[in-house]
Structure 1
Amino acid sequence: MNRILITGGAGFIGANFAHYWLSKYDKDYVVVLDSLTYAGNPQNLSSLNNNPRFRFVKGSINSQELVEYLLREENIDTLVHFAAESHVDRSISGPDAFLETNINGTHALLKAAKNVWLADPANPLPHRFHHVSTDEVYGTLAPNDPPFTETTPYAPNSPYSASKAASDHFVRAYYETYGLQVSTSNCSNNYGFYHFPEKLIPLCLTNILDNKALPIYGDGQQIRDWLYVEDHCRGIDLVIKQGKVGETYNIGGVNEWANIDIVNLLCELVDQRFAQNSALKQQFPLAPAANGRSSKSLITYVTDRAGHDRRYAVATDKINAELGYQPVETFATGIEKTIDWYLNNEPWWRAVQDGSYQQWGK
């Protein structure tokens, strides 16, 4: 039985991980720590509120004192660190928040874990500190380059990826210097339920339904590897349970798509839904498909953002060979589930759009 602290557990991937873990391990206890900044949504966890094996704590990872208290009070043996500022555009316009959360916040967690779990160096408490990172720390790939591996030199190109790279190095340093039992995973682009609608897939889905422009940076040929969020959770689970201490594992979908191709596919699939279900025309009367138009008519090309990496892709040979990891969802099945979730959960994304979701955390 594990007692787990999930940082950033009200965000997109963290919330999915909390649901995944509590569903899979029916004797484990989960504490979520989240400061409920703009991307932290307590509604993502509302179905867990009556679960006696779940506790939510509103607070910052930068509060070392709070984290130490939780580690001791809840007898935590596993910390899974998702909390991060993660939107590249926001890091370009306001990088300070990324340094404060992604670097200083991670360091505060490491210090707290060291103080509690390694208080007696001769007899450290059983523990694992798992750090969730990104493929963006490796930089960018040319079209014919092989995917990133765990030994690819770091070359971050945005303030966001630079801050995540720094946090990765701090995690490694606490293993090498102090013996903290750490592991790190670097994942490719996630998609799925509870995805905050500023990222490509949920932004395009909700904009289609509201007849708003689908903004495509540059020529739209930026390539990303897409991973269904629950498959990411499965990968982290394997790393925590079976991965080697001190090691890094890439978790990817081996599923590369150009941004413009993703958007075209979303348009086609949404239009198909409207053709198959006339009730959607009543629910979303502004959508192009409700008015005899193609959703692709909303595609709008905009000026590319600064430092926009051309391609990301990660090799998953290590996690496949050592831990037997394989994604369960194909992109075809995962994107269908994602579209249906957004069509069936309009109140969730409407609340995000108008900001009312933030009231739920007060």
Structure 2
Amino acid sequence: MRILVTGGAGFIGSALIRHLLNETEHQLLNLDKLTYAGNLESLAGVADNPRYQFLQADIGDQPKVAQALAEFQPEAIMHLAAESHVDRSIDGPAAFIQTNIVGTYSLLEATRAYWSALPAARKQAFRFHHISTDEVYGDLHGVDDLFSETTPYAPSSPYSASKAASDHLVRAWHRTYGLPVLLTNCSNNYGPYHFPEKLIPLVILNALDGKPLPVYGNGQQVRDWLYVEDHARALLKVVSEGRVGETYNIGGHNEQQNLHVVESICALLDELTPRRPGGSYRELISFVADRPGHDQRYAIDASKIERELGWKPEETFASGLRKTVRWYLDNLDWCRRVQDGSYQRERLGAL
């Protein structure tokens, strides 16, 4: 297929592009605005692949998106471009409204115009795959409850509310205009090339620098962790084999309390790169005031995607976390370039 990926320089998007180029024969156009979270260095290993193209563009720039669609002629769009950090959404929600809601609307309209003009066979085969989050469901209170594809939406943060809105827009464009859509809602991703403001890379890098390891509240919040390469495999399954109009929840079957995640990272670092002059990295754990509106528990029922498409995660939390910690230890140059902003400065200089 010819696939246009929005947000392909981000964490999940770059993992998807690496997977598609390494494991399939698909041709890809990566359309990314390159905000702070977009890092082309995450794609350095595949940037010279003849099946890969990059276009710096905003999904909200409808004429530019329309031109890209007309020139590239995709058979599928995989839409990952989004503002995605909860804390940032609390401090400044406007960017989340603009990108996640208005941007998705603009992309849908450009896509609808492109799709409507396709010949009948190509129109029938076309797919618009919207990649979203389990945070649209709010939180769970019972220890055995799980988010299913029919769980009512109850977002808690400006980020999750903006993603819920974008989900609703995609479904409306399917219902009203017949646009052939697919939706996926995933649990917390982790793995290589994760932006250092997120929990797992933040803890790894703070620990190595001897800085406090911040844990919100009492650290008892529960998340279902999904290794990003498992997620990329699931996304390929959905865009290739999913039923039009359906939603598929993607989870890692790896529920962990936030405090346990931090302690597990400390244990791996104690093993792989012991502190000097001694002691455990756990001594750096610091409890901080809880985030406003913090959801207590997320957990995904991923039985539908396993039943219908045959996907299930390959990594346990233990195996995925070990791979992740090792990757960060082996790629500290990439991390430092993100932390000091040089990855952005060099990009701007090249432009």
Q: Aligned match of 2:49 in 48, 51, 63? A: 51
Q: How has the CA–CA distance of structure 1 residues 239 and 123 changed in structure 2, closer, same or farther, with 3 Å as cutoff?
A: closer
The correspondence of residues 120-269 of structure 1 with structure 2, limited to 5 A, is 125=123, 126-269=125-268
Q: Please give the alpha-carbon distance, in whole angstroms, between the structure 2 residues aligned to 1:202 and 1:347.
A: 14
Alignment partners' CA distance in 2, 1:113 and 1:266: 42
> Does structure 1 conserve the Cα–Cα contact (< 8 Å) formed by 2:6 and 2:13?
yes
Q: In 2 relative to 1, CA 39–354 (structure 1 residues): closer, same or farther, beyond 3 Å?
A: same
Which residue is 1:37 aligned to? Answer: 35
**Contact 1:223-1:256 at 8 Å conserved across structures:** yes
Cross-structure match for 1:95? 93
Q: Contact 1:43 / 1:360 at 8 angstroms: preserved in 2?
A: no
- Tell me whether 122-131 or 202-211 shows the greater mean CA deviation: 122-131
8 A contact 1:41–1:361 mirrored in 2:
no
Q: How does 1:298-313 map to 2 (within 5 A)?
A: 298-313=284-299
* 1:70 matches 2:68: yes
d(CA) in 2 for partners of 1:237 and 1:123? 21
Change (3 A) 1:120 1:327: closer
Contact 2:75 2:122 in 1 (8 A): no
Paired AA for residue 296 in structure 2: R
SS of the residue 1:111 aligns to? helix
Q: Which structure 1 segments of 5+ residues have no match?
A: 276-288
* Mapped partners of 2:8, 2:149: distance in 1: 26
Identity %: 56
| Structure 2: distance between partners of 1:223 and 1:155 | 17
Matches of 1:303 and 1:153, distance apart in 2? 29
Could you say what secondary structure the match of 1:325 adopts?
coil
Shift, 1:71, TM fit: 1.1
CA distance, structure 1, for counterparts of residue 118 and residue 72 of structure 2? 19
Please give the alpha-carbon distance, in whole angstroms, between the structure 2 residues aligned to 1:121 and 1:4. Answer: 18
User: Could you tell me which residue of structure 1 aligns to residue 330 of structure 2?
Assistant: 344
8 Å Cα contact 1:274-1:290 kept in structure 2: no
Distance 1:111 1:121 in 2: 18
Instruction: Name the CA distance, whole Å, in 1 between partners of 2:4 and 2:166.
Output: 18
Aligned-pair CA distance for 1:73: 0.3
Show the counterpart of 1:61.
Answer: 59
| Alpha-carbon shift at residue 59 of structure 1 (Å) | 1.1
Aligned position for 1:28? 26
Greater mean alpha carbon deviation, residues 143-152 or residues 33-42? 143-152
Q: Deviations over 1:164-218 (max 9, x none)?
A: 0000000001111111110000000000011001111000000011111100000
Matches of 1:336 and 1:145 in 2, distance apart? 27
Distance 1:120 1:339, change over 3 A: closer
Amino acid at match of 2:45: S
Q: Deviations over 1:95-151 (max 9, x none)?
A: 000000000111111101100011269776231110000000000111424101000
- Could you tell me which runs of 5 or more consecutive residues in structure 2 were left unpaired when the two chains were aligned: none
Quick check: 118-127 or 253-262, which moved more? 118-127
Give the TM-score normalised by the residue count of structure 2.
0.97
Counterpart of 2:83 in structure 1 is 85
- State which drifts further: 329-338 or 157-166: 329-338
The equivalent of 1:11 in structure 2 is: 10
Separation (CA, whole Å) in 2 of partners of 1:143 and 1:40: 37
Cα displacement (A) at 1:330: 1.4
- Equivalent in the alignment of 2:104: 106
* Alpha-carbon distance in structure 2 between the residues aligned to 1:79 and 1:124: 13
CA distance in 1, matches of 2:55, 2:346: 14
TM-score by length of 1: 0.94
Query: What is the identity, as a one-letter code, of the residue corresponding to 2:312?
Result: Q
| Alignment deviations for residues 265-311 of structure 1 (CA, whole Å, 9 cap, x no partner) | 10011010025xxxxxxxxxxxxx12212101110000001000000
Q: Is 1:323 paired with 2:309?
A: yes
Structure 1 window deviating more from structure 2 (164-173 vs 322-331): it is: 322-331
The answer to whether the 8 Å contact 1:118/1:124 transfers is no
Report if the CA contact (8 A) 1:70-1:76 is conserved: no
User: Is the CA contact (8 Å cut-off) linking 1:187 and 1:251 kept in structure 2?
Assistant: yes
Quick one: distance in 1 between partners of 2:157 and 2:17? 29
Question: How far, CA to CA, are the matches of 2:302 and 2:157 in structure 1?
Answer: 24
